[in-house]
Structure 1
Amino acid sequence: MRHLTVEPLIASLLMMHLHGAAAVTHSLKYFETASSGVTNFPEYVMVGLVDDVEMVHYDSNTRRAEPKQDWMSRITADDPQYWQQQTENSKSNQQLYKADMETLKQRFNQTGGAHIIQLMYGCEWDDETNEVKGYAQDGYDGEDFISFDLKTETFIAPKQQAVITKHKWDNDRAVIERYKNYLTHECPDWGKKYVKYGRSSLMRTELPSVSLLQKTSSSPVSCHATGFYPDRATLFWRKDGEELHEDVDLGEILPNHDGSFQMSADLELSSVAAADWRRYDCVFQLSGVKEDIVTRLDEKEIMTNEEKPAHITFIIIIAAVALLALVIIAVGGVMFHRNRRAKCPPTSDNSSELSEQLNPEPEG
C-alpha cells in the first residue's frame, strides 16, 4: 500500500456536531476509490467534501480536478495554479493505486475478478478549543485493511495480509510523522480556508415545517420534518420531557428536490391510553440553531388519509338517496295539485262562457 499523499489535494468537510450555542466542529474529508475489473466505472475516483457537500471531483475518465461548488472557484484568486496542481496530484495517485491493486491481489492470491480499494482520511477541529482529531483508513473489497491511530501513532491491521504493511510503516518514523503532520496541521489549515470560501453557503440554516401524520387510527404517529438545511439535524420523541428510545422508529435523512432535507420519526401508540397522549411531544433540533421546534402530540393536529369504513359510507349514501327521494316526492306532490286545480271546471256562473273559450266551435 502507498503512503498517504499530503499535498493540498485534500478538501474540507464542514461538520457541526454540537447543537445550539455550543462550539461548532468542522471537518475535512476525502474519499479515493480505485477499481479493477469493474465495468462502467472509472478506475480511479477522488471526491472532496465540505460540510457533506461535494466541492471537488476527479476521475480517470475526465482526468482533471474540477470544482463542484461555485465558491470553490474563488480559490484561484489566491492560488492561480491550484486546480492544475490538484489535477497532477490526482493523476499521480491514480498510477500509485494501480500498483497497490496488483500488490493486494497477490497478497490475497487473486488473479482476476472485480476488486476495489478505498481510502478515507481527514480531520475534525473545534473552533473554540482548536482540538483536532485526525483519521486515515484503507479498505479492500469492502472490508477494513489498515488504519492509522493518531493517539498511539501506530497502524492497525485487522487483516493478516496487512500485517506486513503495518510492520513496515510502524518502523518508518518518516511515514508516521508525515501522517501526523498532515492530520493535525495541514488538514485543519486547508479546511479553514475552504470554510472561509464557502461560509455564506455552508453556514446557512433553514428551519423545517413539522407535521404529525398517521395512515390509519391503528398506525404509528409519524413526526415529519421537511425543508430543513443543512442535514445535520436530530428528530426524536419525548415523554414527560425524557427522550424515548423504545417504540420509536427513526427514519433516515433524505434529500428533497430543492436541495433541502426531510426526516421522520414514528411513535407506536397502540398501548398508550388516549388520555396520556398529551405527555408526548416531538422535538426537532438543527445544528447551529439555538431554539428547538417542539410539536406536542395532539389528536386534533394529526393529518390522516384514512377513509371512512365501508358500512358507514354505505349508510350515508342510502340516507342521501332517501332524502333526495323525499324531496322529489314533495316537489311532485306540489306540481300535481297545481295542475289538477288548473284543469278542474270552475264552479262560478261563467263556466259555460269559459268552456266556449277553451273549446271554440269550428268555423263554418
Structure 2
Amino acid sequence: MKKFFLLLLFCHVSSSVKHSLKYFLTTSSGIPNFPELIADVQVDDVQAIYCNANTKTVEPKQDWMKKYFDKDTGHLEWYKSECSENWLNVFKTKIADLMQQFNQSEGVHVLQRIHGCEWDEETGEITTFMQYGYDGEDFISLDLKTLTWIALKPEAVIIKLRWDADKLKITHDQIFLTLICPAWLKKYVDHGNSSLLRTALPSVSLLQKTPSSPVSCHATGFYPDRAMMFWRKDGEELHEDVDRGEILPNHDGTFQMSVDLKVSSIPSKDWRRYDCVFNLSGVKEDIITKLDKAGIRTNATDMTPFIIAVVAVLAVVIVITACGFFIYKKKNGERPKQKRCLICSFQYFDFSL
C-alpha cells in the first residue's frame, strides 16, 4: 500500500463476525481555516463519533452512540478531553518535529494516524494496529510484539529511533490498544447491534448508453458497504474487458456500485454465457443477473409515441387558432364561408376568399 490515504479503502471487513473500532486522526500545517485536529471514530466502518479540536465539540453520528453518551457522560468527557487537549498537543508536537527533521519551514503538510482494534466474535481473537502517515504516504507503524516502531520509509528511521526511546508512551499505547480498545468495541457493538448488523439488498439493473457501449451492471440501495460485484463467463470470474467502479454513498445512507463489461466483441449467441454477480457481506445468497438484451435499459427509445403526441398537439393548436381567427372576423363584421370540422365539435372555416 503506497498511500496512507488509501487506508480508508481497505478498511472493510469480509467476515460477518468480525468487528472493528478505528480512530482516524488528522492534523495539518499551512492549510488556512482547517481545524488543528479532527478525529473520526468508526465502529465496523460506520462513522460513530466526529471531533473538531477547534470547536472542542464531540458529535455522535449514530443514534445508538448518542444514547450511549447520554448513559455514560464520563465516556463523552473522555473524548472531549482527548480531542481538544491530549491528541491535539501530541499531534502538534509531532508535526512540528517532522517538519524540523525534514527542514520544512513552510508549505502544506499533513500528519495522520489510524489506530484501533479488531475483534473476531467467533474465535475471540483480538488484533491491534497503529500507523502514521505523513504528507499522504505511509510513514511509521507500531509493532506490539517487539514494542518498537517500524520505519516504513528511509526518512522515518531517525524518528523510529527517537520514538523507540520513549518507553512510557509505547506502554501507554499498548494498554489502550490491547485492553481499552477491545472493551469499548464490545460495548459499542452491544449498543449498536441492531444498526451495525442490519442488511439491505439492492435493486440490480443492466444499463447501456448505446448499442456499442459497455453494459453496466448497477446495484443501488444496499447496506452495509461491504459488498462485491463482478462479471462471470461460464461461472468463472472475468478480469479482462471489465471495469469496476467504486462503492458510492446514496443520500439515504445506503450505497451503490457498478461494474462494466465490454460487449462489442461478444457474439450475440454467447451472451447467455455471461452473468453479473452481487455479493453482500453477511448474506448467503448472491444476486445473479443474466446478460440479456431484453433486460437492458438504454438511452435508445422508441420515438413513435413522441411523434404521435407532437401531431396531436399541433392539431389542437390549429383548431384553436382557427376558432380564434373566426371570432376576430366576427367582431369585425365579416362572416367567412363555413365547412363542418371532421375532428371535433368546433367548426372549420375556409379563409380562401
Shift of the 176–102 alpha-carbon distance from structure 1 to 2, 3 Å rule, reads closer
Q: Does the 8 A contact of 1:16 with 1:288 survive in 2?
A: no
2:94 — aligned with what?
A: 100
SS class of match (2:271): helix
Shift of the 266–15 alpha-carbon distance from structure 1 to 2, 3 Å rule, reads closer
Q: Distance in 1 between matches of 2:77 and 2:170?
A: 28
Q: CA deviation at 1:169?
A: 3.8
Counterpart pick for 1:52 among 45, 58, 67: 45
Q: Distance in 2 between matches of 1:256 and 1:172?
A: 45
Q: Which runs of 5+ in 2 are unaligned?
A: 1-10, 312-341, 343-353
Residue type at the aligned position of 2:217 = C
Q: CA deviation at 1:301?
A: 0.9
1:133 — aligned with what?
A: 127
Counterpart pick for 2:65 among 63, 72, 83: 72
Q: Does the 8 A contact of 2:57 with 2:80 survive in 1?
A: yes
- Higher RCO structure, 1 or 2 (CA under 8 Å, sep 6+): 1
Shift of the 150–231 alpha-carbon distance from structure 1 to 2, 3 Å rule, reads same
Shift of the 141–30 alpha-carbon distance from structure 1 to 2, 3 Å rule, reads same
Q: CA deviation at 1:175?
A: 4.5
> TM-score scaled by structure 2?
0.78
SS class of match (2:94): helix
Residue type at the aligned position of 1:140 = Y
Shift of the 85–186 alpha-carbon distance from structure 1 to 2, 3 Å rule, reads closer
Counterpart pick for 1:36 among 29, 37, 41: 29
Q: Does the 8 A contact of 2:275 with 2:291 survive in 1?
A: yes
User: Identity of counterpart residues, as a percentage?
Assistant: 57
Q: Does the 8 A contact of 2:50 with 2:61 survive in 1?
A: yes
Q: CA deviation at 1:78?
A: 4.9
Q: Does the 8 A contact of 2:20 with 2:45 survive in 1?
A: no
Q: Does the 8 A contact of 1:16 with 1:24 survive in 2?
A: no
Shift of the 183–257 alpha-carbon distance from structure 1 to 2, 3 Å rule, reads same
2:223 — aligned with what?
A: 229
Q: Distance in 1 between matches of 2:119 and 2:53?
A: 32
1:355 — aligned with what?
A: none
Counterpart pick for 1:85 among 78, 88, 99: 78
Q: Distance in 1 between matches of 2:241 and 2:178?
A: 42
2:240 — aligned with what?
A: 246
Residue type at the aligned position of 2:119 = W
Q: Alignment RMSD, CA only?
A: 2.6
> TM-score scaled by structure 1?
0.75
Q: Distance in 2 between matches of 1:30 and 1:166?
A: 21
SS class of match (2:33): coil
Q: Which is worse superposed, 210-219 or 92-101?
A: 92-101
Q: CA deviation at 1:153?
A: 4.2
Summarize the alignment of residues 176-325 of structure 1 with structure 2, pairs less than 5 Å apart. Answer: 176-306=170-300
Q: Does the 8 A contact of 1:48 with 1:54 survive in 2?
A: yes
Shift of the 76–43 alpha-carbon distance from structure 1 to 2, 3 Å rule, reads closer
1:17 — aligned with what?
A: 14
Q: Deviations over 1:146-183 (max 9, x none)?
A: 11234554321134442233224445555444444433
Q: Deviations over 1:101-138 (max 9, x none)?
A: 22111101111222211111112221111222221111
Task: Find the structure with the greater CA-based Rg.
Answer: 1
Q: Which is worse superposed, 253-262 or 166-175?
A: 166-175
SS class of match (1:65): strand
**Residue 110 of structure 2 is aligned to residue 110 of structure 1:** no
Shift of the 201–16 alpha-carbon distance from structure 1 to 2, 3 Å rule, reads same
Q: CA deviation at 1:296?
A: 1.1
